[in-house]
Amino acid sequence: MSSADQTGSTTTPTSSAGGTAIARAEVLVTSPDRNFVTLRLTTADGVVGLGDATLNGRELSVVSYLQDHVVPLLIGRDAHRIEDTWQFLYRSAYWRRGPVTMAAIAAVDVALWDIKAKLAGMPLYQLLGGASRNGLLAYGHASGRDLPELFDSIRKHREQGFRAIRVQTSVPGIDSVYGVAAQPSTGGRYDYEPAQRTALPAEEDWDTRAYLRHIPTVFEAVRSEFGPELPLLHDGHHRMTPIQAARLGKDLEPYDLFWLEDCTPAENQEALRLVRQHTTTPLAIGEVFNTVWDYQTLVREQLIDYVRGAVTHTGGITALRRIFDFAAQYQIKSGIHGPTDISPVGMAAALHLDLAIHNFGIQEYMQHGARTDETFRSTFTFVDGFLHPGDEPGLGVLYDDDVAARYPYQQAYLPFNRLKDGTVHDW
Ligand code: EZ4
Ligand code: CO
């Protein structure tokens, strides 16, 4: 250790690191099917680690945060010091939390775990305590503009192996609704893959009363078509007030949902007390959250059943692991966010964590397009409805620079909602 370190006049533990010092930190942007931001760290000895820093629709803000403020702090730090680096990035910024900051910290954290596991010669889940199960139950996204299309989409997902299915449909009287494929006949995929690359956000419309009337009839039809066994999920995508969410939860009880997701915009955690008093439908929340504090009331008062945080958006493996451990004391399980805007690097990180924790619940799995899979070559598998991260040392993902270079960044916004009278509503 240098004298500078001993006197505390530098914050960079460099000189003792030797071959494990971070020698290079690159912020990589590519858009094979949609935009992805990846942090690649390389040690002096040439060991490479990857972290996902993709924040859908706000990608370049995280690029700037990393490039302008984080990368200069990383060079020379010992890649082995994951905890110290996390605490340093979180506390030294003074400004805490927020999706941009926490996505940047997550990318550093995951890249360092990737490096550590490669140096150990083990798949990352081994460093997190080893496997707690053989495979990870995954759910896919079925959707349809009407019941025949929806049934077709559910059948296609089951043929692909899915043993749990999220169900979203159009609502009579509303033109375009979150979660519904534009052309279900071409495979039943709804999402923005390729992402909507418009200069301005696409406008969708919304009517909560029409939705509340319609959705229970959809689940009744799905249950009578597919029987009681199939686990079914639904995403409310933050559109309801607490009392509306309470009503939907009650109305869906006969159909035995695995979960109802994001029933209200849950930055008001207390709102879930009201929902919880009225319904036994299990609740899942957290894909837009970024720290444990967003879950404090939800977990301590057992107001939810599943934590939806993503490794990518919740400060990485170090931070999300702690949220799951906190949740475990209250019998709350994991349900990590896994849409296509989580890159294969972020997915791999999720799968290693899923495999290791005791309170795993389910993993969302939307499946990336072929161009994305060619850019990020992953070892994780999906067999018979179960995901597994694979047994390559580290995360098990390679970033192909040549393929990535073929797909430059393109502006792509998420859509938004207006009510019939023009009022902006939650999307
Ligand atoms: O709309 O990931 O459960 N999944 C979701 C996603 C989100 C997108 C936003 O970036 O709600 O489809
Ligand atoms: Co969701």
Answer for the pair 89, 55: CB distance below 8 angstroms, yes or no.
no
Nearest CA to ligand 1 atom 9: 56
Has this prediction a pTM greater than 0.85?
yes
Q: How do residues 312-362 score in pLDDT, each as one tens digit? A: 999 999 999 999 999 999 999 999 999 999 999 999 999 999 999 999 999
Q: Nearest Cα to 411, choosing from 103, 67, 57, 63?
A: 57
CA atoms within 13 A on the CB side of 187: 9
- pLDDT on residue 48: 98
Helix-helix angle 147-159:208-226, to 10 degrees: 50
Beta strands in 328-426 (DSSP E): 333-336, 362-364, 376-378, 381-383, 386-388, 397-399, 416-419, 424-425
Give yes or no for residue 157 having a pLDDT over 60. yes
H/E element holding 64?
helix 59-64
Q: How do residues 292-317 score in pLDDT, each as one tens digit? A: 999 999 999 999 999 999 999 999 99
- Which of residues 174 and 320 earns the better pLDDT score? 320
Q: Kindly give, in sequence order, each residue whose CB lies less than 8 Å from that of residue 64, ignoring residues fewer than 6 positions away.
A: none
- Is residue 388 part of the annotated active site? The answer reads no
**CATH entry 3.30.390.10 includes domain 3-122:** yes
Alpha carbon distance 54, 44 (integer Å):
26
**Domain limits, the chain:** 3-122, 127-393
* Catalytic, out of 141, 157, 234, 237: 237
- C-alpha 247 – ligand 1 centre gap (Å): 23
Q: Kindly give, in sequence order, each residue whose CB lies less than 8 Å from that of residue 338, ignoring residues fewer than 6 positions away.
A: 138, 310, 347, 350, 363, 364, 365, 366
127-393 CATH, one of 3.20.20.120, 3.30.70.20, 3.40.50.300, 3.40.630.30: 3.20.20.120
Mean pLDDT, residues 18-46 taken together: 97
- pLDDT on residue 189: 56
Q: How do residues 178-192 score in pLDDT, each as one tens digit? A: 888 765 544 445 555
Alpha carbon distance 233, 214 (integer Å):
16
Q: How do residues 49-100 score in pLDDT, each as one tens digit? A: 999 999 999 999 999 999 999 999 999 999 999 999 999 999 999 999 999 9
Residues, beta carbon < 5 Å, ion ligand 2? 235, 287
- Is residue 306 part of the annotated active site? The answer reads no
